[in-house]
Amino acid sequence: MKTTAVRATLALLVVGVFMAITGIMAVFPLVSNGNVQLNEYADFFSKTASVYTGIVGVIVGYYFGQRSDTPTTQTSQTTPTTTEGGPGQQTTTPNP
């Protein structure tokens, strides 16, 4: 299995679980038999969602932060520098 397929599968799994938890938490006050105080539940929901939103961001950022299947190449860049030869005479030297 290629690395990109594993990353895609893990990302979909993490986002799917995130969406399932959010959906369950959003529907819970509507289907529960007990009396739910909506103001208190909204505070609980926002605090809980902020915690696992950060975790999901870290996980997705880790798996998609860099691409390992593309080769990296270094290119030498040149910048014009003037020499002491006089006006109009320039040479290019590569940057380290």
- Count of domains forming the chain: 1
The more confidently predicted of residues 15 and 90 is 15
Asked if residue 73 is part of any domain, the answer here is no
Q: Which of 70, 81, 50, 60 is nearest to 7 (CA)?
A: 60
Q: What is the pLDDT of residues 39-95, one digit of tens each?
A: 888 888 888 888 888 888 887 787 777 666 555 555 555 555 555 555 565 555 565
Residue 27: which domain range? 3-64
Q: Which of 44, 69, 71, 56 is nearest to 15 (CA)?
A: 56
Asked if residue 87 is part of any domain, the answer here is no
Both tokens assigned to 28: 């819970």
Asked if residue 96 is part of any domain, the answer here is no
What pLDDT does residue 42 have?
86
Asked if residue 92 is part of any domain, the answer here is no
Q: Which of 42, 50, 61 is nearest to 18 (CA)?
A: 50
